[in-house]
């Protein structure tokens, strides 16, 4: 279901960034889809869909009052540009609480600064793959942040084989 502008920080931030980057050249829309996978079928490829997967630093909160940070919140994008309309589907991967082991998977909260870094990388991919621009993809400078070791059994992305920490 599409969300209205002004109701979600991801949608608002993406809209602002795309306006800054592309002006009114094309119209881009971002929606959430928690069923996205890290592959495309033949039909999706023919329709021009592309995939970008990245990670960010984020925070999770459980109803048992436990909260934790993760240096590896997995974010998956499916995107395409057709007829001057860009569509982006976004999936934030969830984690389970290591204290109460409630089977509920919690969605991450990602600070605005980290969200901007994600969009900086993603927009370069859009420029390269949708507009055929020559872009310089810079290597990420990951800052060390103290977090507990990644527990693959509690990570939704690991369970689906999409996390770099999965076996």
- Mean pLDDT over 90-110 rounds to 91
Residue 4 domain flag:
no
- Mean pLDDT over 29-41 rounds to 95
Residue 106 domain flag:
yes
Long-range contacts of 39-48 (CB under 8 A, 24+ apart): 40/78, 44/78, 47/80, 47/82, 48/80, 48/81, 48/82
Residue 166 domain flag:
no
Q: Is the pLDDT of residue 124 over 80?
A: yes
Looking at the DSSP assignment, which residues form a beta bridge with residue 99?
none
Which residue range is the domain that position 115 belongs to? 9-159
Read off the pLDDT of residues 59-70 as tens digits, 9 standing for 90 and up. 999 999 999 998
Residue 26 domain flag:
yes
What is the band of 22 on the pLDDT scale with cuts at 50, 70, 90? confident
What is the band of 7 on the pLDDT scale with cuts at 50, 70, 90? confident
pLDDT at 146: 55
The helix/strand/coil state of 71 is strand
Q: What is the pTM of this model?
A: 0.87
Q: How many domains would you assign to the chain?
A: 1
Strands (E), the chain: 27-32, 50-61, 67-82, 85-92, 95-96, 105-106
The residue whose two tokens read 């395409």 is 80
Read off the pLDDT of residues 109-120 as tens digits, 9 standing for 90 and up. 999 999 999 999
Read off the pLDDT of residues 52-95 as tens digits, 9 standing for 90 and up. 999 999 999 999 999 999 888 999 999 999 999 999 999 999 99
């Amino acid at each position: 279901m599409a969300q209205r502008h002004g109701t979600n920080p991801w949608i608002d931030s993406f809209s602002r960034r795309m306006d800054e980057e592309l002006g009114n050249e094309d119209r881009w829309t971002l929606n959430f889809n928690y069923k996205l996978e890290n592959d495309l079928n033949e039909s999706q490829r023919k329709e021009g869909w592309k995939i970008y997967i990245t990670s960010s630093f984020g925070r999770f909160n459980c109803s048992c009052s436990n909260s934790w940070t993760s240096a590896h919140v997995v974010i998956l994008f499916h995107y395409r540009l057709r007829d001057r309309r860009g569509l982006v589907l976004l999936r934030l991967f969830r984690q389970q609480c290591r204290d109460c082991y409630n089977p509920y998977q919690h969605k991450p909260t990602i600070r605005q600064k980290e969200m901007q870094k994600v969009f900086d990388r993603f927009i370069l991919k859009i420029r390269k793959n949708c507009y055929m621009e020559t872009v310089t993809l810079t290597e990420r400078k990951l800052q060390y942040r103290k977090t507990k070791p990644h527990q693959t059994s509690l990570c939704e992305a690991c369970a689906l084989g999409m996390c770099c920490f999965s076996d």
